[in-house]
Amino acid sequence: MTIELSPIDRAKFVAARRAADFVEDGMRVGLGTGSTAAWLVRCLGEMVRDHGLRIKGVPTSARTAELARDMGINVISLDEARWLDLTIDGADEFDDELNLIKGGGGALLQEKIVATASDQMIVIADAAKEVEHLGAFPLPCEVIPFGWRTTQALIEETLVAMDVMGRASSLRMNGDKPYITDEGNYIVDLHLNRIGNARQLAMVLNQMPGVVENGLFIDICDVVVIGHSDGRVELRDINEGTATEEKIDFAETDNLFSDLGD
């Protein structure tokens, strides 16, 4: 049986498939959260199952940990690993300097901790995630529940002095209740439209009492792997200053896609 993927899923899959080639036997690997990162976990699971790859995976969320275990990957904590060879994760936006907005899946805190505890971070994304300026995607800020309305008001007041186009914010919801992160916090999404100085904004946000972390990943990503629906992948290495393009050929078979109902 063959499973037909949508164009966007094909793009995500080929990016994940190519990024999996960076993983070598014996590595400690950070496993990202989100739909694109889930393809990566499936690809690595296939390599573990069918090719004997031996890795230790450090997940960035409870749902990634569950998927990784289901795929047969040896899951350990960051405290056990202490330091990682590589982290592979998705992004909600990236610019030409490989700065990112992450946190659409609600795991930005663990994602940033894991990424910064790695020798290298590789981002996998479809081409639609590339932007000239960050900010069209809402910027998540993880905040503690205590006094969150005050924290939200302080954020909005501070945004007046920032180089952004919008200053509205909203509490992320899960039905009729606030969304709760794996760390028991809330997320306030900032609707900025365009961020002129992402580095400055990231520093200012994290200085506010009540803000645990923000979704701006500055100078953390080393390589981005961009997938296209026709099987092309672009690799951009910010450290080497290189950009290359390849073509990924694959068969959409039950072997990899049998768990898509999860």
Answer yes or no: is pLDDT of 1 > 60.
Answer: no
Answer yes or no: is pLDDT of 255 > 90.
Answer: no
The pTM score is 0.93
Task: Give the pLDDT band of residue 195 (cuts 50, 70, 90).
Answer: very high
Mean pLDDT within 81-94 = 98
Under 8 Å between Cβ of 125 and 8: no
Task: Give the pLDDT band of residue 217 (cuts 50, 70, 90).
Answer: very high
The active-site residue out of 66, 80, 111, 234 is 111
Answer yes or no: is pLDDT of 233 > 50.
Answer: yes
- pLDDT tens digits along 102-154: 999 999 999 999 999 999 999 999 999 999 999 999 999 999 999 999 999 99
Task: Give the pLDDT band of residue 4 (cuts 50, 70, 90).
Answer: confident
Answer yes or no: is pLDDT of 259 > 80.
Answer: no
Residue type, 224: V
Quote the tokens at residue 84: 């990682």
Helix (H) or strand (E) holding 130, with range, is none
Domains of the chain: 7-130+219-257 (3.40.50.1360), 139-213 (3.30.70.260)
Quote the crossing angle between the two packed helices 35-51 and 7-20, to the nearest 10°: 50
Cα separation, 16 vs 251, whole angstroms: 15
Measure the N-to-C terminal CA separation of the chain; round to a whole number of Å: 19
Q: What is the DSSP letter of 21?
A: T
- pLDDT tens digits along 143-189: 999 999 999 999 999 999 999 999 999 999 999 999 999 999 999 99
Mean pLDDT within 55-83 = 98
Mean pLDDT within 245-254 = 73
In this predicted structure, what is the pLDDT of residue 261? Answer: 42
In this predicted structure, what is the pLDDT of residue 14? Answer: 96
Which positions make up the binding site for substrate? 33-36, 89-92, 102-105, 129
How many helices (H) and strands (E) are present in the chain, helices listed first?
A: 8, 17
Cα separation, 116 vs 106, whole angstroms: 18
What is residue 144's three-state secondary structure?
A: coil
Which positions make up the binding site? 33-36, 89-92, 102-105, 129
Under 8 Å between Cβ of 129 and 227: no
Cα separation, 89 vs 213, whole angstroms: 17
Q: Is 111 a catalytic residue?
A: yes
Tokens 């795929």 map to which residue? 71
